[in-house]
Homo-oligomer: A and B are copies of this chain.
Amino acid sequence: MAMRIGELARQAGTTTRTLRHYEELGLLPARRTGNGYRTYDDGDLRLLQQIRTLQDFGFGLEETRPFVDCLRAGHPAGDACPASLDVYRRKLAELDDCIADLQRIRAEVGTQLARAELEAAADVPGGPPPLCAFAPPFEHEREPGTP
């Protein structure tokens, strides 16, 4: 039940440095034992798991705060509060924008690559295999030594 920072880090698959960082941010404050050691319980593990899950989805730490607050407020799930739902919705919109941007860019880069490859094939005869095997190099561009 009660555990120290190393144990919690192991259970959550993270590091003690990360947990201290979360505490600096006020995201996951710890109780202290008499000697100053941080001490956590299973509730903290749940909060931490919530944070890590959202992190894996690309949420920033600040964006996880409503979920953590929601859990701490006693709700059974971190997304049982309106503020969390808002974060979900904003993230969805953000993801959609981002995906659309990347798809535009992907298409553009693909086009550029295809064009550049064609031009390279045209400029360096004998380099990459020609699309039409019967297309001979032009005479005035033929290299010396080639019969």
Binding site for B on A (CB under 8 A): 57-58, 77, 79-80, 82, 84-85, 88-89, 91-92, 95-96, 98-99, 102-103, 105-106, 108-110, 112-113, 116-117, 119-120, 123
Contact = CB atoms under 8 A, between A and B. Distances in A.
- How many chain copies? 2
A99 B110 CA distance: 14
Contacts of A92: 106, 109-110, 113
Chief secondary structure at chain A's binding surface: helix
A112 B96 CA distance: 16
A98 B123 CA distance: 33
A106 B95 contact: yes
Contacts of A103: 99
14 contacts: A57-B108, A57-B109, A58-B105, A80-B120, A80-B123, A84-B116, A85-B117, A85-B120, A88-B116, A92-B106, A92-B113, A95-B105, A95-B106, A99-B102
A117 B80 CA distance: 8
A88 B109 contact: yes
Residue with the greatest number of chain B CB neighbours at <10 A, chosen from A96, A109, A110: A109
A84 B117 CA distance: 10
Nearest to A85: B116
A79 B112 contact: yes
A117 B123 CA distance: 59
